[in-house]
Amino acid sequence: MRKATHLTYLFASLFLLIVLSAQSATAQCAVVDQTFNVPENVREVDTGISISPGDTVTFSAAGNVWAGVWLTGQNGPAGWDNLQTAPNDYPLPGARIYSLLGRIDRGTPFYIGQGTELNMSAPGRLFLLINDNVPANGSGQFSSHIQVSRRPASFLIDQTITVPENVRGDVSTGITVLPGDRIQFQSTGSIWAGVWLTGQNGPDGWEAVNNDNSYPLPSARIYSLLGRLDGGYFYVGQNGEVRHSGSPSPLFLRINDNVPGNGSGQFTSRVRVERAGMPLSSTFSGPGRFTLNHPNTPNPFNRTISLPVEFSRDRCNLSIINFPPITETFDTHTFLGSNTTTITMIRGGTGSFDLTSGIISIPVTLRFSHSLATDGSSTCDLLLTTEANGGQRLSTGSATLVGSCRCEEGILDGSNATFVVTGSFSPGP
């Protein structure tokens, strides 16, 4: 028999949710969407998923296990629900025993239960396990569906600005901020404000607020670091962040000092501007090879492809704006003579794109029309992707998309088609 203590799980779960469940308001791309089984008879399951800081990971879980405790029944991913929580010899003390847990590398496990959504702060490999001090002596399994979303890198500006105390007035950053931009400041350094019998202070300024209109921002701490947009000052301090809602404006920094220039020292501020991207129109161009395993068609069709495409605002999607018809005329070697086959896109054309990994996947439906009325048209549903055999993820502007399908209807019914296009995006994302 196992021993279990009655600890309070509520505080542990609330702590984990507060620390790990912060949601990012910036658009994200799903980079992982997989389901994993977690059998009771294994110590842990390596998902093979590499987590990056800032990733949002969504878990949902189902299934049942018997934990190997005599005279007890099965339980779901939430664990035992009788307030019996795990003692110190369990993977996560204080959490429900026999519940589903996750862990990054060899770090402290976290509670998943039936489902949760967490914002990850540390990089590493994701593992799944059961909160069991004697694993592998029971039966059953949990099944966990995991989605990982990753915010595309979108800091368009990353500069370091020095703000000396002896400057009388604003310091221009040379940065023009647009509506909707998010600005992050990371500031260090110290100044002496020129006030006798006082010491130095950092970017947060003195704790005192004078509400003196002779200061640039009377409501903020004196001798702190400020920013200015649209003619108005705002508090920056050591770690400030603002979302600009006004008109396009140059960004300035200064010290909240009513008599600037009579002290010494300086602040240094790293300024990063994150901008919600605009859709990007581009062209994907390069050689294409189309193969049909039909005895009456030439193989392969070799063509130079030029596809107008558009990357979405968040760079999570890629759409083919126009698929120019591809034609091939060939002798059928029958009394019917020559035939011209025209390939057009009739459906799809919008798929997923991940800026970090360079993965592209675009579902399309193609139609094969023939000049010989007796042949009949055929259709073909395929996924053009960098992940198929022979594909190449986007790197330095170039990628190889590969797709295969089985044709339906018409003379090509039952024939297999393969498409390989290697090209470059201009401009790149």
DSSP assignment of 285-349: EEEEEEEE--TTS-S-EEEEEEEEEEE-TTSSEEEES----EEEEEE-SSTT-EEEEEEEEEEE-
Give the confidence band of 8 by pLDDT, cuts at 50, 70, 90.
very low
Q: Does residue 252 surpass a pLDDT of 50?
A: yes
Question: In degrees, to the nearest 5, what angle opens at C-alpha 105 toward C-alphas 95 and 118?
Answer: 55
Q: Locate the domains of the chain by residue range.
A: 9-150, 155-274, 280-426
Higher pLDDT, 292 or 173: 173
Select the highest-mean-pLDDT range: 108-112, 244-248, 337-341.
Answer: 108-112
What number does CATH give the domain 155-274?
Answer: 2.60.120.430
- Matching fold, domains 155-274 and 280-426: no
Q: Which CATH number fits domain 280-426: 3.30.2310, 3.40.50, 1.20.1260, 2.40.160?
A: 2.40.160
Name the percent of the chain lying above pLDDT 90.
Answer: 55
Higher pLDDT, 69 or 314: 69
Summarised one tens digit per residue, pLDDT across range 175-230 is 999 887 889 999 999 999 999 999 999 999 998 888 899 999 999 999 999 999 99
The backbone region for 386, taken as left when phi is positive above 0, alpha when psi lies in -120 to 50, beta otherwise, is alpha
Q: Does residue 419 surpass a pLDDT of 70?
A: yes
DSSP assignment of 30-87: EEEEEEEEEETTSS-EEEEEEE-TT-EEEEEEEEEEE-S-TT---B-TT---SS-B--
What number does CATH give the domain 9-150?
Answer: 2.60.120.430
Q: Does residue 339 surpass a pLDDT of 90?
A: no
Average pLDDT over residues 57-70: 93
**Which residue's structure tokens are 């779960």?**
13
Q: Does residue 51 surpass a pLDDT of 90?
A: no
